[in-house]
Structure 1
Amino acid sequence: MSNKLFISSVMAISTMVFGANYLVSKPVNAVELLDGQKAFESSPRLTRAAATFSNRNNPGAKYQFTIEVPEDAGEALKSVKITQKENSDTVVFKADKTKASLGNSLSGDNIPLTAVEKESKPGDIIVLFDTPVEPGNTVTISIKPKQNPSVDGVYLFGVTAFPTGENSPGLYLGSGQIHITK
């Protein structure tokens, strides 16, 4: 079988098995759900995750997560949940030290927060904006851990964005990586 025929066969089978969306990347689109919940029309994007200090046990570190809300999001960003993925050490956050600002760093205008809730599991935190972040804006959230983990490695934090609306489903944006070194 020639290479061209083989590749065409694989693509045809992939399209039949996985659907056309498997081969073509499309933006996430959603409509108002049957129960009245709202969802993003176009997905916000996690564009950056970083630590101000990456050495083990550092009590001065802050973790920053930057999220871009595209113009065509359809809904404003109401809240963000950050969840540490399982690792050899658990980060404990200081909820009262959490901040948010417009832009790609904390040098932008501060965004007032309605609440910062620590979940029942250490390493999880929910940030609620006093005024939702409108489409076309970028927000950076800074979270203060009690200290960096005592074990070096790559720590993953899942980021989920929630649009305005009551009990709206969150949209998982992916995992931000924080590298802890000696």
Structure 2
Amino acid sequence: MFMSMNGGLWSRREEPVATTPPAPPDRLHHSVAGEEAGERFKFLVCVDGSPQSRAALRFAALRARNTGGLLALLHVCEPVDCQGWMRVADTMEAEQREEAECLLQDMAGEVWALTGLMPELNFRRGAIGAEILEAIREDGDIHALVVGAAPALARRGRLISWLAGELAGSLDIPLVIVPGNLTDRQIDRLA
């Protein structure tokens, strides 16, 4: 479900897709002396390309760098519903996957430029809330879920609404909500 060392993307329901992320230095793939990879704090960030998800990404990337932690990005596409038009649905899903792959690669490039860290990439297809929970459960090493919130003047996002309404206490990891209207300078100071 995550990006492999050779850069392939996959989810639990789809085959690997070859991608070419920026080549990270070898030192980033090895554990710190005396520290196992499973002991490092891993942040999972839900990304969709919106300003609020970019704020969440910046915060989590800087926290990961500042704490010697790891970073994973998650993008969820909802299933295409074209009953009776299977070929159309297949084409739309392929286009969604290409767009998601480009988005994840762009955001991984932003993380790389900002911190020198190469995040794991995770693409999933399904209901967003259920896929977030499943990604956390399957990975087993995620220590915090980071999401961005739209500013108060904007409409409340579906993800935040779902997290607030459905998760209420069912997560066994911290949920970090980063306001999407924070400036880069504010985020840098907080992280």
In the superposition, the TM-score normalised over structure 1's length comes to 0.27
Higher-Rg structure is: 1
Q: Which structure features the higher share of strand residues?
A: 1
